[in-house]
Structures are given as structure tokens and as C-alpha cells.
Amino acid sequence: MTSPLIALIPLLPLAGFVVNSTMGKRLPKSVSGGLASLVMLASFAIAALTVWQLAGLAPDERLITQTLYRWMSSGEFTLDVTLLVDPLSAVMLLVVTGIGSLIHIYSTAYMHDEVDSEFARYFSYLNLFAAFMLVLVLGSSLPVLFVGWEGVGLCSYLLIGFWFKKKSAADAGKKAFIVNRIGDYAFLLGMFALFAMFGTLEMRGIASAVAARPVETGFGVLSLATLLLFIGATGKSAQIPLYVWLPDAMEGPTPVSALIHAATMVTAGVYMIGRNAVLFSHTPETMQIVAVVGAATALMAGSIGLVQNDIKRVLAYSTVSQLGLMFLAMGVGAFGAGIFHLYTHAFFKACLFLGSGAVIHALHGEQDIRNMGGLKKYLPVTYWTFVIGSLALAGFPFLAGFFSKDELLFETFAEGHQILWAVGALASLLTAIYMGRLVFLTFHGERRHDAPAAADAHGGHGHGHGAHGGHPHDAPPAMALVLIVLAIGSVGAGYVGIPAALGGHNALGAWLAPSFAPPVAAGRAVAGEAAAEAGGEAEAHDEEHIALERTLMSVSSAIAIGGILVAAFVWLQRREIAANMARSFAPLHRLLLNKYYVDELYEATIVQPVQAVSRDGLWRGVDVGVIDGAVNGVGAIVNASAGVLRRLQTGSVRAYAGSLFIGVVLMLGYYLWR
Amino acid sequence: MIPLSHYLIVSALLFAIGTAGVFLRKNVITILLSIEIMLNAVNLSFVAFGRYAGTVDGQIITFFVMTVAAAEAAVGLALIIALFRTRESLNPDAFTSLKW
Amino acid sequence: MPESVLFYVLSGVMVAASGLVIGQRNPMYSVLLLIVSFAALAGLYIVLDAPFVAMAQMIIYAGAIMVLFLFVVMLLNAPQEDAAGWDRVHPLRRPGVARIGILLAVVLVAELGWALSKVVALDSPVGARADGAVVGSVRELGRVLFSEYSFAFEATSVLILVAMVGAVVLARREGDA
Amino acid sequence: MDSQLLLRPAVIGLMIFIVFNALIIASAILVYAERKVMGFMQQRYGPYLVGPHGMMQPFADILKLLFKEELRPKGADKWLFTLAPVLAIVTAFAAFATVPFGAETTLFGLLDQPIKLGVADVNVGVLVVFAVTSMGVYGIVLAGWSSNSKYALFGGLRASAQMISYELSYATSIAAVILLAGSMSVREVVDAQAGYWFGFVPKWYLFLQPIGFLIYAIAGVAETNRAPFDFPEAEQELVAGFNTEYSSVRFALFPQAEYINMVTMSAVATDLYLGGWHFPGVPEYLGWLAFLAKVGFILFVYIWMRWTVPRYRYDQLMKFGWKYLLPASVINLLVTAALVLYFNA
């Protein structure tokens, strides 16, 4: 069916952006922020309504489209801007608009110290991001999706560099932008390849076209195309090798990190693969790569996260590793599981980031966990929400993360990738450990952080916050509210996908299944088969499956709890152990601290050569030599010739008339002569 | 009846006279007048041709020429007045401050 | 026959008057002689049975444009042409130029004559149309003018407007509104 | 029949003769009438000595002028100074050529073909009148310029500017009438005004074109340099304007030309707006009397106006001409055109 409402979902935030960016300077904070949040809530409402409509339909017709206009049409290639809501994009819609609204609300409090114009600028960017993200989610064809893809990239650049007066922030923004461009380039190539193959860029069209083909054995053109798309995804979703921008992206305002660099944008890659599930599931080679890359990223980022000291960076690396897990799931064909994890992850990771934001807010910009500790009694709300978030992330039983992660790992195992499963399990162990470390270092123990923060707090008196004197104050109501909501989400979000093993019947998986199946056009049979293959346990559950799942589940919960306990033991009881280990494994420790020297590696292998070529070759050589030379040469020639020609300008009217008439006479003579 | 060629000869003569005037006279106004003469020479040939071809187009074009002439006269004379105010002369050679 | 007599007289008058126009040193006389030549031209138009054009010639040219010239001549109190302001700095501004001008004019006449001689069937007389319709009828003129030439007509009207504004702007002294 | 062959040219010649003298006499009468009316309006007699009621006064004036010495100021332009009055009077006479003043008649059966009362009937007659009158300005301008005197020059300048300015409104108002009549021949315009609406209202364009008529009248007054637009000869400001330096016959020609122009103007007004020789209850063959009556009335209004309305200021004149009269006439023309289009289609 079609619905005229869909367009409003991205258009509302866009309107907010227009208003805030044009007249935001003159609006008071309450208005600009309120407006921004309001449009988000409104589009959330519409999204909910649409999803409700969608749910009303039979599983096979769950598809709402709206064609806005004919975008381009050249030769036999035509492309309409069509928005599409199906189970998959429905989930994403709710996540983006829902979490988005929450974070908007949170930001109104968090960014309150900015001056009005900056405040408005911030919210205009935020709205713009929402609009683009929604376009990305709703786009039914790769180009439309790509528009959103690029748009969110732009917004992330703008928001990372929001405090552009700070050099590190500006650099981080640039880094994010450039790294993303690399991925986008690959993505474009992938699009071209697909177009060359299928003559269409409508994703459903491609899907049905692919479904008609046999699964590609060996690494063929199709695999290449999907691989290129995947590279694009690694750029956007911070996977090896293009993950380097995400940790730096923490330079941006914390709510931004929460919204863009944890909950929504970075999941675009995962979403994209899910959206093209049929396509990808036809290229096992690429799937293999995806899975491996995902697993590797998960492990690597987790290990780095273990030693980081910046609260947000820890979270950033955990984000990277969680994304790695999602890609792992995608790679093994457990699309449902991947999206499921994406969805739960959005909740608790947003919750965690906002919690860290609250901490930073309370400590007036302090981000180093070594200077924290003992905040538990000052920031009860933040503390409890943060703990819940961490537990959910660590996969503590019966919290959101638990279900999704287990789902994911189980799928991996069930698809027969034991090694990958092991890696994933290790990654989640690491997760548990560093989250534990984070919590304990930040909130427990005695307060380590010293004068400056307190002084800030005193100074803070001046500008109206730091309610109770020397010690930091808890999050203001708006932030607190959001934290609590998200915490609840982190607890409950998982219950939409209770696996059969626990007597549930993975509602989410069943709901998503059609999206990963080829379009109905390609034939019910295929759809059913694909649904079975992709949506996992929509039906057909035999005993050992459940048994296996139970065992794995217990294992991973053991892992989670074990990890937390280890962390508790090390960082609460015997702090020196950590130091000892650091000393005894000094090289490893240094390696981790320096993030495997990846940045340095890139610097040496890519950045330097490129700079050298541009400076000495392109600038000194081509630009100065050729281009400027040409320009100046032209100028000089004109000058010289003018010097001669101006002699003709006698200033005598009749001289001019004379030349005119000579011309006339000659021309006439010529024509007569012929 | 008069052959067309006679009209054309007359018009040619007039045109030549106008041309010569543009060169001979050293008075902007007279030069403008000479230009008017040329225009009318052309008009004459237009009307003659039109009559010869038995269409009204010749006359129509004549109207357009007249209109243009009127515009040209208005602007030209305005220019002359402006120039005269600054240079106190009507000799085109007096207005040469833009030459090299 | 009267028509041809009329033609020769009128064209004679016209050519003579035009010649005198450029022969005068005094712009006043030039203007008046030009009016005479225009009157003769109007006569020729009538001979070509284009009475409307003739009247337009009288009203627009003789009646308005020439009055404008006259007005300007009187306003500037037309100084006799000054042979003074005549610097010999530039080669192209020697009096020789004038002779070149005459030469050009002569060449032009020659060429035009040549051109005429090349055109065929010129000696077929210009007469009324075979169907005897009056070509000059105002009605037909108007019809054609406002149907086929409507665009040109509009363009011309714009031109006139622009010229009007331009004239006002140009002739206005600095400072006065 | 050969008698006819001789008769017709003779009659035409006679008509020219009549018109010519009629105009001269008319001007004479106007001289007299003007002074009489002025006297009447100023509560005095005016001329009454020469002849009965001073009727011979004009002829006395003319005689006086004839015997005056012909002066020509030094430094005046010999040729133009002489040419100017001639030009004035000639154009004045010529202008009347295409003005018909009566219906077709056979002169009581004398001719077997009816003849049109009027010197010439051209199919663009209106334009002819207009063209010739527009030539009339040269007389005045040249007079002003050639007599080499600043007052005269000013008179000439004013005349030229004034005439250019008012010709536009003049022509535009006439154009409206031409639209209505669908012809440029004065006679056809007149015949288009024959008959009645609702049986009693004569079909005069005066009733269709009240504004047009007003504009025409005003512009006409300005064209003929009559009060309140008599700037070329504004005696209070410019001694006597363009004809300051003139004397004797040369001088006499100017006022005469002016009067004849007045007559022409009135005649044209009668033909175009007042239904020419058509008048309720007047038979065709006496139409020319009706015509005369109408012209006479208009002339009276002319004189009346001169002695009642004060003269404008020059800038006022220009402003009025360009900013009010011209737009008004253009609008009038547009409206008329629209209506004609509407009712003919």
C-alpha cells in the first residue's frame, strides 16, 4: 500500500533545521531547542503510526511506499524518489526517531551553557542529521539511500567539529569526513557495478533480480559489488580498516556521540547490509569477509577499550566492537540477530553515553576516569542508569544486550562458524571486563579527582549550576528523565525477541523475516525459504537446536558475569594487579594504549605520501607551473595586444564612421565581385 | 510608369549624400541629419520594393525605421545637449578625451 | 504622363535639398532643407500610392523629429560650425579624411549602380497589383502590422520607452531632480 | 456630356475660390468679433465708429497694416524672416483643404453627378489635416528664430515645445474617433454620425467621446496658441513673443494665420465630434448652414475662453500636457478600442 504520511517523517526535522538555521540566532534557547525536540517527537509519532499501519498488514504485504517525484531520467534509466517502510526500516524508524527525540530533549539541558546562536546551530545540525538519517532509512533505492548516507556523514562532520575553535575537534571532524569519503567512494563504485549488472538501483528490484540467480560460488562480479558496498559500510560503521575516525569523533558534544556515533549513524552500514540481505546472501565470499572483519574489529576494539582512560573513548571502542559483533552476525547470515543487536545496542549505548555525558557535565568537562571515582553518592540517577546500561551491554542475563548478543552468537555458532563464535565470545568477555572497569573506576572507590573540578563547581555557582557546592551535582531533570527512560529501554528492549530457548518465539526475527526475503514478486516459495533461512527460528525448531542455544546462552551469561566479577576483583579489591599486569605485559599494554599504532601506520603509509605528492607535485608543479602560467600568460598576451590595438582608438567619430563605411564598401564589392 | 530602378537610383543617391555628409560635416547635428537622410533613402527603397512586390511589408518596415529614427533622434539630441554643456562645442573632434 | 513628371520633379527636389543639407554651414538651414526633402519624399510615397506612409512621414519626421532638431538648434543657439577645434595630432584626423569620405561615397554610388545593373527585371514598372487591390490601404497595413509584425511592434515600443527614459536622463543637468 | 466635362472642373475651381475667400473673410470677421465680444464682456462697446457698429474695423486695420513700413531688424535672417509668415499662412490655408463642409449635392440639378462640398476628399484626410497643421509650427518657430531677438526666440522655443507636447494628445484623441468611425476620411467620419439614437439623440461622437472631445478642445487651443495657452505671444512676458519684430503685411499674416487655424480647428471639431452638417431638422442641402453655425459657436467659445481664463504658467503647461492630458487621452483611446472590439465582435 502507499501512504502520503511517510514523507512527513524526514520532512519535519528538515523543517526544524530550516527554521533553526535561518532565524535560530534570534530565537531564545527554549524556543529553538523546544522546536527541534518537538519536530522530532512529531516525526516519531508519525513513524509509530506508520509502523502501526504496517503491523496491521499481512506479513507478506508489509510494505508501505510513497513515491515523491521523478528524480532523474536518462535514456532507459529512470529513478524515482521513493520512500519505503517495511519491517526492517520500521525498526530503524522507531530507533532513529525515538532515541533521536530522547537525545534532543537531553541536549536541551546538556547544551544549555552555549550562547543562543550556537545552541540554535547545534539543534539545526541535529535536526538535519535526523532528516538525513531518516532519508537513509526510508530510501527504497541505493541513490536515495546514498543521499542520506552522505548527508549523515556531513552532519557527523559538522557535529564532531561543533566546537571548531578547538583544533582537536576540527581535526577530528576532518578525519571523520575524509575516512568516510574513502568508504563512500567504494560504495559509489559498488552502486555502479550493481547498475551495470541489473540496470536498476531500486533495492527491491535488485533483490528480485538476484533472487532469480544462483548463489555465486567463488569471488565474482557480484561479490566484488557487495564487497565494495561493504567497504562503504566499514567507513560509515567504523570497521577495520576504516574505524579510526570513530574514537576521535568523541570530540563532539556527548549527546552527538550518543545519537550519531553510537545509536544511529554508525549502524547505517549494518542496516544497509540488512536492507540488501538477499544480495549479500548470494555472495558467500563477501559474507565470509564481512564476518571475519566484524569479528576482528570486535576483538581489536574490545582489547583497546580495555586500557583507555577517557570515559568516552572507552565507550567509543565498545561501540566499535559491538558494531563488529553486528557485522559478524550479518556476515554469518543472521540478519535478524544483527538488527536485533543493533536495536538493543541503540538503547543501552545511548544510555551509557548520555550517562557519561551527565558525569562530564557534572565534572565540568573532566573526561579522564583516573580523576573520577566515588561519584556514586553524588550522582545516584546517573550511577544507576549507567550501571544498568553497562550490565545490558555486558550481556548480563535478561537485560536487553543479553538476548540480542546471545541470539547473535548462537546464530554464529549454529551457522557453523565455531572460531568466529569463540572470537565473539572473547570480545563479549572483554566487553564485560572493560565496562566493569569503567563503572568501578568512575563511580566506586573514593573520589580521586582533585581541586580543579571542585573549583569549577564553585565557579559554577556563578553561572547557576553546581547546585550543592563543592561536590558535583546530579543530572538536571531533562537529562535524568531521558537517562531513566533509556535505562528502562536497556532492560526491556530485549523482550521483543525472546528466543525459543526461553519459551519465546523471537517475535522480532519473525517480524523482520520478510525484509530479508526476496520481494514477493520473486515468488512466494523463495520468500518462504528465505524467511526460514534468514529470519532463523520463525518456525521449525528441533530439540538440539534449543539445547545448543541453552548451553551457549549459559556460557555467555557465565562470560558476562565472570567478566564483571574479574573487573570488580581487580579494580575494587586489588588495584595493583592492574598495574602489575601493565608492567609485566608492558609491550602489549603499550600496544593497546597506542591502539595498535594504526593511526601512525596510516599516517606513514597514506597521509604522508599523499601530502607529499599534493605539495610538491600538484601544487608546486601543476598549479603554479601550468595553471597559473596559463592564466598569467593569457593576461600578458591581452595586455600586449591591447597596447597595439588601442592606437586605433582615435577618438574621432568620423574616423570610426570611416572604418565602418570602408567595411561596408568592401563587403558590397566582394559580393558584387563573386 | 516609373521603373523600379529609378527609385533605387534615387535612394542610392540619397544614401551616398548622407554618407558624404557624415564625413564632410564637422557639426554633430548635421551629422545626425545626414544619418536621417540615409535612413530615408533606405525607406524609399523599401516602399518602392514593397510596391513592386505588391505587399505592404515595405511600408511596415518603413514605420519601424521611423520609430527607430525617432528614438535615435531623441537620444542623440539629448547626448548633444549634454556634450554641448560640457564642451561648448558641436565639433565631434572636440569630444576626444577618451582616446589613447 | 503626370505621374512620371511628378516623380522626376519630386526626386529632383529631394536630391537637391539633401545635397544642400550637407552643403550648409548653418545647421538651421540644414534642418529646414531636410524638411523640404522629407516633404518631397512624402510626395514620392503618395506617387507609390502609400498615402498613409506619406502622412506618417510628414507627421513623425517633418512634424516631430525635425521640430525636435530645430528646438535643439535654437536651444544651443547653433554656433556656426567651428573649423578651429581641429588638431592634427592623429593621422586619421587630417582633413584628408573628408576627402576619403567623399571618395567612399563615390565608390558606394558606383557599387550601388553596379548592383542595380546586376539585378534583373528592374525596368518592369512598379504598378498597382494585378488584382488591383490598393496596397496602401490603412486597414491592410494595420492588419499586417498587428498580426505578422506584432512582436517587432512590441519590441519597438519598448525601444521607444527606453529611448524616452534615456533622453530624459541624459539631457538632465546634474543636481536638478 | 461635354457641358458636364467643363462644368465639373469649373465647379471645383469655384469651390476652392469660395473656401479661400471664406477663410479670409472669416479671419476678418473674427478680428471684429473678438473685439466686440471682448468689449461686451468688459461692459464696453468695442469698435463702433468705423462703419455700422464698427463693422468696417477689420478692413481699416488691414489697410493700416498694408501702408506701414516693412521693418526687418539688423542681423535678422533675411530669407527665413520673410519665409516664416508665408509658411504660417500657407499651412493655415492648406490645412482646410481636406475638411468637408457639406453633404453631396448636385447644386439643384445643375450637375448630373452629385459633387462633394469640400476641396478634396482623401482617404486619409484626417491625417492630412493633422500633418499640415503640424507644419504650421514652423512658421512661428522660424519667425522667432530668424528675427534675432531674445523675446522672439523665446516665443519660438515655447511654440515648438508646446506644439510637440500637445500634438500627441491631439492625435490620440482623434485616433479614438477614427476607431469609432472605422475610417480616416473626414467625410466618412461625418456620415458615420448621421441618424439618431432612440429617434431623437443625434449620433454625434460628442456623446460617445465626451472626454475625447474635451482633450481635443484643450489640445486644439494649445495648438492654435490661443489663450490660455498663448505662450508664443505672451504679451505680458515676451512683449509680443515670436512676432515682436514683425510689422506691416508680414505681421498681418500671423494673426490671420492664427484665426484661420482657429477656423480649421473648429471645422475639424465640428466634423469629427459634432456630426458635421447633420443637424436635427435641417435638410441635407442646407447642411452647410448647420455646419457654419456649429463652427461659429465653437469660435465664440474660443474667444469667450480667451477673455475669461487667465494664462497658465509655462511649466504648468508642460506638466499639464505630459502628465495629465496625454495619459488621459491614451486611457481614453484604450477604453474606446476595447469597447469597439467588444461591440464589433
Across the B:C interface, residue pairs with CB atoms under 8 Å apart total 251
Dig out the grid coordinates for A168 from the structure: 582537536
pLDDT of residue A132: 93
The pLDDT tens digits for A551-606 are 888 888 888 888 888 888 888 877 777 777 778 777 887 887 777 788 888 888 88
User: pLDDT-based confidence at A530, cuts 50/70/90?
Assistant: very low
pLDDT at A426 over 70: yes
Does the pTM surpass 0.90? The reply is no
pLDDT at A524 over 60: no
Q: What is the CA radius of gyration of chain B?
A: 17
**ipTM confidence score:** 0.60
- What's the CA gap between D95 and D93, in Å, rounded? 5
Phi and psi torsions of C4, nearest 5°: -65, -40
- What's the CA gap between A359 and A365, in Å, rounded? 9
Q: Domain boundaries in chain B? A: 4-90
Residue D78: partners with Cβ closer than 8 Å, 6 or more residues away: D72
The answer to whether A596 faces chain B, any CB pair under 8 Å, is: no
Q: Domain boundaries in chain D? A: 3-344
Chains B and C touch (3+ CB pairs under 8 A): yes
pLDDT of residue C175: 60
pLDDT at A528 over 70: no
Cβ-based contacts of A668 with chain C (< 8 Å): 108, 111-112, 115
Mean pLDDT over the full length of chain A: 83
User: pLDDT-based confidence at A541, cuts 50/70/90?
Assistant: low
pLDDT of residue A459: 38
Tell me how far CA of residue A42 lies from CA of A4, A8, A22, C123, in angstroms. 15, 9, 21, 88
Tell me how far CA of residue D122 lies from CA of A602, C41, C135, D23, D70, in angstroms. 99, 18, 16, 21, 39
pLDDT of residue C84: 47
Q: How many CB atoms lie within 10 A of CB A330?
A: 31
Cβ-based contacts of C7 with chain B (< 8 Å): 2, 6
On whether the CB atoms of residues A101 and A37 are closer than 8 A, the answer is yes
The residue behind cell 553561572 is A463
On whether the CB atoms of residues A388 and A490 are closer than 8 A, the answer is yes
pLDDT of residue C101: 66
Highest CATH level, class, for B4-90: mainly alpha
User: pLDDT-based confidence at B58, cuts 50/70/90?
Assistant: confident
pLDDT at A474 over 80: no
Pairwise CB contact (< 8 Å): A654 & C97? yes
pLDDT at A450 over 80: no
Coil, helix or strand at residue D164: helix
On whether the CB atoms of residues D89 and D256 are closer than 8 A, the answer is yes
pLDDT of residue A650: 67
Coil, helix or strand at residue D102: strand
Name the stretches of chain D with pLDDT < 50. Answer: 1
Helix (H) or strand (E) holding D264: helix D248-273
pLDDT at A422 over 80: yes
What would the mean pLDDT of A264-284 be, rounded to a whole number? 89
* Chain B residue with minimum CA distance to C1: B1
DSSP A139: B
Q: Domain boundaries in chain C? A: 1-84, 89-121, 132-177
Indicate the residue type of A271.
Y
pLDDT of residue B81: 82
The pLDDT tens digits for B8-39 are 888 888 888 888 887 777 778 888 888 889 89
Q: How many CB atoms lie within 10 A of CB C85?
A: 16
Q: How many CB atoms lie within 10 A of CB A643?
A: 10
What sign has the CA pseudo-torsion D295, D299, D304, D305?
positive
- What's the CA gap between A37 and D235, in Å, rounded? 85
Q: How many CB atoms lie within 10 A of CB B88?
A: 12
Chains D and C touch (3+ CB pairs under 8 A): yes
Dig out the grid coordinates for A220 from the structure: 565474482
Supply the angle between the helices A311-331 and A221-237 in degrees, to the nearest 10: 160
Q: How many CB atoms lie within 10 A of CB C98?
A: 16
- What's the CA gap between A340 and A338, in Å, rounded? 5
Tell me how far CA of residue A584 lies from CA of A353, A580, A610, C136, in angstroms. 32, 6, 39, 116
CA-based end-to-end distance of chain C: 60
pLDDT of residue A529: 47
Largest CA distance in chain D: 66
pLDDT at A45 over 90: yes
DSSP A218: S
In 3D space, the residue among A287, A329, A338, A269 whose CA is nearest the CA of residue A512 turns out to be: A338
On whether the CB atoms of residues A378 and A471 are closer than 8 A, the answer is yes
Cβ-based contacts of B98 with chain A (< 8 Å): 649, 651
CA D87 from chain center: how many Å?
A: 16
On whether the CB atoms of residues A170 and A251 are closer than 8 A, the answer is no
Dig out the grid coordinates for A79 from the structure: 529513478
pLDDT at A140 over 50: yes
pLDDT of residue D200: 74
Residue D83: partners with Cβ closer than 8 Å, 6 or more residues away: D142, D146
Cβ-based contacts of D167 with chain C (< 8 Å): 59, 63-64
pLDDT of residue D109: 65
pLDDT at A128 over 90: yes
pLDDT of residue A453: 44
pLDDT at A417 over 50: yes
Pairwise CB contact (< 8 Å): B96 & A654? no
pLDDT of residue C126: 56
pLDDT of residue D127: 84
pLDDT at A298 over 80: yes
pLDDT at A468 over 50: no
pLDDT of residue C129: 47
The residue behind cell 498597382 is C128
Supply the angle between the helices A335-362 and A87-110 in degrees, to the nearest 10: 0
- What's the CA gap between C102 and A181, in Å, rounded? 74
What sign has the CA pseudo-torsion D130, D132, D138, D139?
negative
pLDDT at A386 over 50: yes
Q: What does the angle CA A131 – CA A134 – CA A139 come to, to the nearest 5 degrees?
A: 120
Pairwise CB contact (< 8 Å): B23 & A657? yes
Chains B and D touch (3+ CB pairs under 8 A): no
Coil, helix or strand at residue D104: strand
The pLDDT tens digits for A54-96 are 888 887 778 888 888 888 888 778 888 889 888 889 989 999 9
pLDDT of residue A43: 92
Provide, rounded to the nearest whole percent, the portion of chain A with pLDDT above 70.
92
The pLDDT tens digits for A189-244 are 999 999 888 888 888 888 888 888 888 777 888 889 999 999 999 988 888 888 88
pLDDT at A457 over 50: no
Chains that touch A (3 or more CB pairs under 8 A): B, C
**Torsion angle in degrees (nearest 10) through CA of C115, C118, C124, C129:** -60
The residue behind cell 530485549 is A494
pLDDT of residue A135: 93
Cβ-based contacts of B99 with chain A (< 8 Å): 649-652
Coil, helix or strand at residue D202: strand
pLDDT of residue D97: 81
Q: Which of D134, D142, D144 sits opposite C59 (nearest CB)?
A: D134
- What's the CA gap between A70 and A80, in Å, rounded? 4
pLDDT of residue A538: 44
- In CATH, C1-84 is 1.20.120.1200: yes
Interface of B with C in 33-72 (CB under 8 A): 33-34, 36-37, 40, 43-44, 47-48, 50-52, 54-57, 59-60, 62-64, 66-72
Count, residues in chain B: 100
β-strand pairing of D201-202 with A64-74: unpaired
pLDDT tens track of chain C, all 177 residues? 677 888 888 888 988 888 888 887 788 888 888 888 998 988 888 888 788 888 888 888 888 888 888 888 887 875 555 544 444 444 445 555 556 666 777 787 787 777 777 765 555 555 544 444 555 577 778 888 888 888 888 888 898 888 888 888 877 776 654
A491-511: buried (b, 16+ CB within 10 Å) or exposed (e) per residue? Answer: bebbebbbbbbeebebebbbb
Pairwise CB contact (< 8 Å): B31 & A653? yes
D164-196: buried (b, 16+ CB within 10 Å) or exposed (e) per residue? Answer: bbbbbbbbbbbbbbbbbbebbbbbbbbbbbbee
Alpha helices in A569-607 (DSSP H): 575-584, 586-593, 598-602
